[in-house]
Structure formats: structure tokens, C-alpha cells
Amino acid sequence: MDMQRDFQPFRELLDQLRAALGGGDFKASDAMLKAYWDALKDVSLTEVRDNVKRIIATATADTPFPRPNSLRRSAHAQRSFTPDAVHERAERSSYCRWDALRKHDVVEFTVQARIARLARELLDAAPEDPGYRETELEQARWCRLRYAPRAEQEAAVTAHLGASRRA
């Protein structure tokens, strides 16, 4: 993560996590913020954001505040990675392409984004995890939608977006 660009959004994510898990004061202390930043500065903000959202979405009354390693994709992801200019350019380019697709064709964007998100979930999960098979079947259904008639795609996207708005 980049200190100038990502520190404030990172702070907001930790504050959201504290508020959602009822950790007393709803703002993360400066010491906690520094400790988590130091432990996670080699991880992308997107990865941290995805894991914060996952933890908040699955939290129960007994969910403890997560350790920094829980905000990584996997426990073995403790490698040090400093993105170079080529990686940053590729990430920006990818973001721009996804954004252009979203603006041009929301249905196609939703189908492709759903496939990509489900693929990421499958990569991060083990086949013995609960829900793995359902995720696999859902990804197959969305992959088939790429070649379905436009009306069928629109119906699936409308149902998906309606369900996610109700959730």
C-alpha cells in the first residue's frame, strides 16, 4: 500500500471494523492503526478491503477483532512485495478497462465481474471448505451466461442486483 494514497482509506476500514465488531471505541487508536499498517503495508488496499467486508458480513456477536494476518488472503501470504512501475501501470490499466466496461454495458460488466469474483473465491478456498461446491456451481452458471441470449443475461443480472440490494 502507498502511504499517501492508501493510509486514510485504510484508517476508515479499521474504524468500520471496530464499529462493526463493537470494539468499544468506534475509532481505531493510533497505536493500533500503526501496528496494523506496519503488518499489512505489503498487501494491496483492495485485498484488505475485501477481507474487512468478508469479516463484517460473516461476523456474529462472538466474533473477535481480527489479527492483521486475517486481513490477508491467506496465512502464507507473508511475502514482501513492493509493486514496481510495471505492476502499477498494469493495475491502473485493468481498473480503467473494468470501469469502461461498467460504463458501457452494465449487464456484461456484471456477468464478467461475477465470474472473476467467484474465481477469486475459489482460489482462496479449499475444496473441503463449506460452500466451495456451491461457489463452483454458481461460477459455472455465470460462465454459461456469457453465451446466453441477452434477455437471459439481463434477467440474471437484474435478479442478482436485486438480491444484493436486499441483502
Mean pLDDT over residues 86-102, rounded?
90
- The pLDDT score that the predictor gives to residue 144 is 95
Q: Is residue 112 part of a domain?
A: yes
| Cα(96)–Cα(89) distance, integer angstroms | 10
Closest to 55 measured CA to CA, from 43, 73, 38? 73
- C-alpha cell read off for 96: 480503467
Domain shared by 20 and 64, yes or no: yes
Domain shared by 43 and 95, yes or no: no
Q: Is residue 78 part of a domain?
A: no
Q: Is residue 37 part of a domain?
A: yes
Q: Is residue 127 part of a domain?
A: yes
Q: Band the pLDDT of 155: cuts 50, 70, 90.
A: very high
Q: How many domains does the chain have?
A: 2
Q: Is residue 141 pLDDT above 90, yes or no?
A: yes
Domain shared by 56 and 11, yes or no: yes
- The pLDDT score that the predictor gives to residue 23 is 59
- pTM given for the model: 0.48
Closest to 153 measured CA to CA, from 116, 118, 115, 97? 115
Q: Is residue 138 part of a domain?
A: yes
| Cα(100)–Cα(108) distance, integer angstroms | 11
Q: Is residue 100 part of a domain?
A: yes
Residue-range definition of the domain harbouring residue 106: 85-166
Among 36, 71, 106, give the residue marking a domain's end. 71
pLDDT tens by residue, 33-62: 888 888 888 888 888 888 889 888 888 888
Domain shared by 62 and 98, yes or no: no
Of residues 22 and 82, more confidently modeled: 22
Among 24, 43, 71, give the residue marking a domain's end. 71
Count of CB atoms situated within 10 Å of the CB of 115: 18
- The pLDDT score that the predictor gives to residue 38 is 87
- C-alpha cell read off for 59: 461476523
Count of CB atoms situated within 10 Å of the CB of 142: 23
Q: Is residue 77 part of a domain?
A: no
| Cα(31)–Cα(44) distance, integer angstroms | 21
